Structure formats: C-alpha cells, structure tokens
Structure 1
Amino acid sequence: MKLIMSPGTFPTRTARAGTLTAALATAALSACAPTGNDATRSGGDPTILARVDAVFADYAGLDGPGCSLGVIRDGRLVHATGYGAANLDHGIANGPATIFRVGSVSKQFTAAAVALLTIRGELDLDAPVQRYIAEFPDYPDPPTIRHLVHHTSGVRDYIVLMALAGNRDEDFYTNQEVLDAINRQRELNFTPGAEFLYSNAGYFLLGEVVARVSGRSLRQFAHDEFFVPLGMTHTHFHDDHNEVVPDRATGYAPKPAGDGDGFRINVTTLDMVGDGGIFTSVEEWVAWDRNLAEGTVGGDAWLELMHTRGVLNSGDTIPYAFGITHGGHRGLATVGHGGSWVGYRAGMSRYPETGHSFVALCNGAQIDPMALIASTAEVYLEDLMTPAAQTAAPDAQAEPSEADDAPQDRPGPDIPDRTRYAGSFHSPELNTTYNLREEGGSGLVLHAGRLDPSPLLAVSEGVLSGRRGMTLRFSALEDGRYQAMTVDAGRVKNLRFSRVEE
C-alpha cells in the first residue's frame, strides 16, 4: 500500500526560536518569563527553560492572551506553565490549571468513545451511518461509521453549510437545526472512501451515534467511561454555553484592522459537541496522554484501533487515524492534532519513540500552537532529531522572471452580461434563497440570509467567485438568463441551486 503523508505536518521552527543560543536564551529569561501559576514548573536546566520561554515570548505579557504549555515525559508532567492573560478584564494569568476550549483536538475523545463501543461489540465500524441515525439520507453508496472517523465519508461540513445558509459567525442555532441541515443534503462531496476531506459534520454525527448507541449523551459517556476513571475531574464536553466553568480562559481575537491595537472577546454560543467542545487544562491533559500510551481505559485493542489509519478505496493509507494524525518531525514519528474555534487554539503532539509529548492550549485567535510546540520539541529533543533543513536567506531569493510581470487573468468586479446571472436562486438542501443583485456600473452582489452582502467577481464565462472561498458555476442558459448554478466552498462541493421568481 502507498502511504500518503499530509504536507507540512509540522511547521518549521521560527528563525527566532531556531537560532537562539543558550547564552542569549538565559539572558532573555526575565523578559520572557511566564505569567501563570508555576507550581508544576520543572526544576530542570535553566537554559532549557529559558529557551522554552523564548519560544512563547510574544505571548508572555498580561496585556494579551496567551497559552498554557505542558511537557510530558513517560507519562509524567515534567514542565507546565502559563503565558499571557486568561482574562484581560481582570488581569488573570494563564496557568497549568487554566481551562481552555480545545476545538478539534476534541475529535480524539469522540473517536475514543466510538472505539470503546466498537471493541465492546456495541458498534460496527463498517455499518452504514443510517443504521444508527435512521433519518440520515439514503445515499446510493452509503457512508459508514469508519468513513466518518477517517474523514473519507464525503459528508458536507456543517459549519460551512450553516454559513452558506446565511448564518453569521455570531448567530445561534441548535443541534437539531444542524442535524436537519445534514439530513437535507442529497449529495455527498465524493464517493465514500474515494478521498480524504476534513468534515466537522462527520464527528458531529459520531457524537450523535455514541449517544444513540449508549443511551447517554456524548458528554455523559465520556465523563463516565474516560474522565472519571482517569481522574480528569475538570474535563468535559461543553454542551451548554451558559454553564459556569471555574478557571476558564476567555477566547480573544485581535481587533479588526482600523480599530486600533488590542483584542476583542471571541467566544461562541453554539452547543455542538463531537467535532469540538472539550474543555480541559494542561494539568489534566497528562492523564489523557498517558491513556493514549498505556490504554488504562480501553486496553490494547482500544489503543491499536485509536492509532489505525484510514485506507482509501484505492488502497492508499492516509495519516488520519481516530481523531489523531500520524506524522513526522525532523526524523521522529509523531501523533498529534490541532484545534481552532472562535478565539481558542490548541495543539498536541506525541513523540512515541522518545516518550515525550507536548501540549499548548491558547486563548488567542492569532496564535499557532502547533508551531509553538514544534519549536518546544526541538528544544528538548534536538539531539535526537535530524538537522533542520536550511532555508535560503532573504537576499538569496531567485530573481523574478519575466513571466512574473506578465498580465494574469484574475477575478474582477466587472461582470460582462451580468443580467444573465442576476436574480434569485434557491437551494432546497440549504433551505435558502440567494439573491444576486446588479449594483454599480457592472457589478453583482450576493445577498444571503443575515450575511453581509458579498460582491461577486468574474472568474470566467459562467463562473463567479465570492467571499468565504465560494465559487458559483452557472448553467442552463435560456432566454439570456442562467437557470441553475452550483456552489463550491471548500468542504462543501456541488451544492445545487435553481432560479426562482422573485
């Protein structure tokens, strides 16, 4: 079988972190010092600690959000600390006990529940989704539970669907509305098993499957089967946005351009879990990391299943396993996952060959925790790694060719024959009507639900583009007007619309 590796599994170490000498790092210790509770800060080599602090230096001050960092060796938390503010209103620092939303890092917990039910014989990975969710669409080639786990189902991403239906980032909608949106779809993005395409809908559905098979909510199942046995008393699937969570970090995003420096609160009112929703801390993460190595809950069969990679119809193996991705970093094998939702970012990576793991939980939308833990891993494991790839200096870049200066066909606001496109188009799958209105001298603007109007750009004859990565393809030209269009938007493909009378 051919092994397909995802490109850029680990970002290269930043020049700043990669070129620090031990002397400079030690001198910078006071300037880069962490802000949080240092109760579990390691008492190791001060040079190592200084170099780690330097990696997080940009997020160390209490005037902005930051991260909590954990370094684990052989199942033991050997270094944990915090950087930046958990709450800017009150100047509360991040620390090892601070609770963060971890975004898609949550997927491994959902997959863990699926794996546990599977080895108990209560769930069949190769059964069609419709066996467990009866109202799921009856596709000619039905996706299975295994397809959902490995993101090879072709099920359209619900987050994109809800946005395409006209919902803004700040709008509220319910779990039932999400399930209804998924069940309205009449096509998949592709034949199940043919491709890998990340889908939050798949893991939302897996959470629903766990609930229907076990008779318990995903939150309750994870609490009973994992968190209580592992002593993770503050970790939970957060399925009620009104719930008070002590020691929670607030999520932030930089203010929009033109609004000055600083940050705005960036949290969610949505209660979906399965694809996300885990709240946890660095201090509690160590118990989960140990379970991923030892199988305290689940045993050897569960461990093997959790690390089993997906296989495409072609026979090619993909890096994605059960909510975790196999990869590599400078010659060392890794297993990890990142997370991103509203103002929270998270990253975890295990290095099984060395017994090390690294986790960074952050509360700023501008932070890249996977890059930070990659740099931290290089501090601890550089003697075991292959040499870092050399990159060309800025002044050694290739000279631009004449082709770089040649005119390029780029989307533009002037749309020839715009009357062909103008009008209303309805999608039963979205239960939404798009209005394409002529505005300005030769432009078109898309109006959809509560979204801000989106100017459309001409790509080619019959093809327009819009915001959020949308591509609109028109067909069935009759009496000078297109009667149909399809919309592609990243994790949603071939969404069909038909012209309707206004």
Structure 2
Amino acid sequence: MTAAPGLSVLIHRPGRPPARWTHGLAHLETATPITRRTAFTIGSTTKQITAHLALLAARDNLLSLTQQARDFLPDLRVPDVTVAELITHHSGIRDTESLLPLAGLRDLDHYTADDLITLATRQHSRAVPPGTFLYSSTNYLLLARILQHVHQQPLDDIAHARIFEPLGMGHTRFRNDPRDVITHTASAYTPTTTGWRSTAQPAPLPGAGSLTTTPEDLSRWLTHLHHHWQNTRTVLPLDTALAYRASDHHPYLYGPGLYADPHPATRQIFHSGHEHGFSTAAHLTAAGGQIICMSNHAAIDAAAVAHTLIPHLTNLETAQIPGFLAHHLAPPPPPTPRPPEPERHTEVGSYRCADVPGTLRLTRAHEHLYLWRRGTADRLTATTGQAYAGPGYALTLHIPPGARPSCFTLDLARAPGLHYTDIDQDDTSRPEPP
C-alpha cells in the first residue's frame, strides 16, 4: 500500500461484469486505505442531483420551471431570472465563490452559502446577455434555497426522501455544516516539496456541491437515470422536462445538471467535479455504460482519469484495468517553489466595485503591473493595448489621456464584467468603461 492518497474507480460495460479498483489511502494520518465503502466529496457532480430535485418539485406543482426565481428569493436583484435558467446556467449571475479573493478572503477563511448568496444579491444585472451560458455554482446555491423554501425542509432531508433512500444510496448525504461527522469519508491532500498537506476548507455549499458518496451509490443513481432515459425513449435523459442548451464546451450541451454529447455514435451524459482537493467524474452512455472515478489526490484529476480510460474500454479486459490505471496515472512531481524577487513598488491607485465588497490596489514595479488584495499580489502579464492577464482573470485598464488609470474592468471566467473605479473619485464623476 502506497503512503499516498489515491482513487476509487467503478466501470460498468454492458454485457461484462463491473470492474472496481481502489488505490491509495483515505486518511494519511491513520494509514486508512480506500475501500469500496469509502465516500468522497464529489463537487459539481452533485448538480445533477439538485437539478433532479427541482424537476421533481415542478412535477409535484411545488414550483414552475418558468417561474421567476425572485418569487422565492425576494432579495435577488437580477431581474427576470427563471428557475430553469438557474438549472441550465443561463441566469447570467456571476459565480460568487470566484469573487471571494477579490473581497479579501484567503484559502482558510471561513465562509458559508449565506455569504455567497449575499454576494449574489449585490448583482443588479446579468453579467452576460440573456440566453448566454455562464457556468456559475451560485445558480445551484440559489436553487437549493428555492427547494428548501418550497419543501420547508433542509436539502439533505429532501434528497434523502426523494432519491437516496428509494435508490438504496445509504452512503450518500449532503454536508450542511463543516462540523458534520460523516463516517467512512476520505480526506483530500495535495503534494508538497516536503510531503503532504490537507486541502480541507470550512466551506460546505450544499446544492452546488458538498455531496459525499461512494462510486457504488453514484452508480445506483446513474442506473436509475438510465432506466428512465430508456423507458421514455428520449434523445437525452429528462429532455422533455428541461431542454438541453449550448454550453461552454462545444459541441456539448447542458441540461438538468448534466453535460451531454448528443451525437448518435457517442451519445452520453457526464459531469465532473472539483472541491477542496477532491475530484470526481461520472459518465453514462446511452447503452448503459458507466465510468465513475473519485480522487482524493489533488494532483490526480478524476476527469483526466476518465478521459484516459474511455478510448480503451472496448479492448481492455476487466483484469487488465487495474494495471492500465496504475501505469497511466503517476501524478506529476510537486512544483519547486521559487523565492520571490524583491521589488520596489510604485502606487497606481486603490479601486472598488459596487458588486464586490472590499478594495483592490494596483502598483507598478520593474515595468510590471501588480494587482493586490489583502496583502498578496498577482503580477499581471501585458497582452494587447491596456489589457493584462492574471491567474484566472483578465484586466483591462481605462486610462484618460495623460492620467493614471481611473478605472478598470475585471473579467473572471465565471464572473465577468466587474467594473472597478478609483476610490478617490466622486461617485458622480466615475467614468464607465468604453
């Protein structure tokens, strides 16, 4: 047994016995191995469960998919967002977890779903035009609140009664509080130059993630979904209740918490998830094939594991799968840190945004531009004109002739269109970006 975190893999191929493979430790501190009973946090793979609960609520006339989200969430300011748009990521509401670093939070700072929803209620308009896909976990936090409102129950109780108990998913539950004790659940770790570091963070976000389950339990859900898919004879599962629409990964579509490949030769649904060092991938084909991968090793991406397996599943014998995985999945070595270079910074300005609390600073040093938040800085890379690239975002300066930057626009992948203005300017004189 290797003294490292690892993987749990379950493969179902029509006409063949299921293949199961576990490797590594669930807990490094106690040298507890991963077994078939080990549960993992599955991140955004959770969304298909939450979306299905919304479809069941619509079927039971507790809500309508075309109903305004503000009917249930009166503090939501973005107008004309429907329940269906939350499910399909067409609401235009920014992913508020992406905004936390801009608001000054660090990795170990505690935040809750309430904090993220409060950030969502600061938004006054869609960040992208209506009908545009913008993946945002905030949609599913809001969806969970709507479900709790119409059922008058916590999300875990709703899911247990409607899905988990009927399907025999006895090792599956939502973590509603970071202090919850869930037995047989793995911890996640990331490699460092000196050993391992726990990736645990006190931030349960039920609805968008924070579901713990085993490959066997998730397989029960996918089997149920496949039976429904076959019995209704639809092109994609549940597409009569909610149409699949274009997504951020062409040519794949997105429907009730699921990406879909609609091509007849490769028709399947799938989703991956990442949450605090855990990763998961779940694939279901139209023929009933399943690949479920769960990892508690931050350097082994479960989605990459699934992607590696898919082309070889036809030719691999069941007994060959463990050796194939062991051969192909050696994680990369941890990065070697480089000592920071001492630099003398010149202040450019401090800026604020109506949609995000806190302030950001810009400085220059050695002809480089830096973005600061709560004492840490990103060195930005110039791209074109006044545009710069940072880690996971783009920044565009708006500079009047002969002056310092009076404002800038920050575009995060899941939270675009944030307008920051120099705090020294009067509210009435702040220029809008061109």
Deviation at 1:79, TM superposition (A): 2.8
Asked if 1:498 corresponds to 2:421, the answer is yes
Q: Is contact 2:219–2:292 with CA below 8 Å preserved after alignment? A: no
2:302 to 369, 386, 389: 369
Q: 1:348 to 1:94 in 2, by over 3 A?
A: same
Q: Is contact 2:353–2:420 with CA below 8 Å preserved after alignment? A: yes
Deviation at 1:456, TM superposition (A): 3.2
Q: Is contact 1:325–1:337 with CA below 8 Å preserved after alignment? A: yes
Q: Is contact 1:328–1:334 with CA below 8 Å preserved after alignment? A: yes
Asked if 1:427 corresponds to 2:361, the answer is no
Q: Who is 1:276 aligned against?
A: 209
Q: Who is 1:455 aligned against?
A: 379
Distance 1:304 1:154 in 2: 23
Q: Who is 1:25 aligned against?
A: none
Q: Who is 1:40 aligned against?
A: none
Q: Is contact 1:75–1:290 with CA below 8 Å preserved after alignment? A: no
Deviation at 1:494, TM superposition (A): 1.1
Q: Who is 1:247 aligned against?
A: 184
Q: 1:368 to 1:494 in 2, by over 3 A?
A: same
Q: Is contact 2:245–2:254 with CA below 8 Å preserved after alignment? A: no
1:431 maps to amino acid:
P
User: For each residue in 1:118-164, what CA deviation from the matched residue of structure 2 results, as whole angstroms up to 9, or x when unmatched?
Assistant: 1112111112221221110143xx22111111112211011211122
Distance 1:93 1:328 in 2: 38
User: For each residue in 1:465-489, what CA deviation from the matched residue of structure 2 results, as whole angstroms up to 9, or x when unmatched?
Assistant: 33x3232222262762332221111
Helix, strand or coil at the partner of 1:493: strand
Distance 1:306 1:276 in 2: 25
1:210 maps to amino acid:
L
Distance 2:45 2:241 in 1: 15
Asked if 1:200 corresponds to 2:126, the answer is no
TM-score (norm 2): 0.82
1:341 to 254, 259, 275: 275
Greater shift after overlay, 319-328 or 231-240? 319-328
**Percent sequence identity over matched residues?**
26
Q: Is contact 2:9–2:22 with CA below 8 Å preserved after alignment? A: yes
Q: 1:300 to 1:207 in 2, by over 3 A?
A: farther
2:266 to 297, 318, 332: 332
Map of 1:18-33 to 2, 5 A cutoff?
A: none
User: For each residue in 1:147-201, what CA deviation from the matched residue of structure 2 results, as whole angstroms up to 9, or x when unmatched?
Assistant: 11111221101121112222222221122211110110123221221x2221111
Q: Who is 1:310 aligned against?
A: 244
Q: Who is 1:400 aligned against?
A: none
Distance 1:476 1:128 in 2: 40
Distance 1:484 1:234 in 2: 51
Unpaired runs of 5+ residues, structure 2, are 317-340, 426-434
2:408 maps to amino acid:
M
Greater shift after overlay, 479-488 or 83-92? 479-488
Q: Who is 1:187 aligned against?
A: 125
Asked if 1:472 corresponds to 2:395, the answer is yes
2:397 maps to amino acid:
F
Q: Is contact 1:456–1:464 with CA below 8 Å preserved after alignment? A: yes
Unpaired runs of 5+ residues, structure 1, are 1-60, 384-412
1:458 maps to amino acid:
A
User: For each residue in 1:31-83, what CA deviation from the matched residue of structure 2 results, as whole angstroms up to 9, or x when unmatched?
Assistant: xxxxxxxxxxxxxxxxxxxxxxxxxxxxxx52211111112356997232311
TM-score (norm 1): 0.72
Helix, strand or coil at the partner of 2:405: strand
Larger radius of gyration: 1
Distance 1:286 1:303 in 2: 16
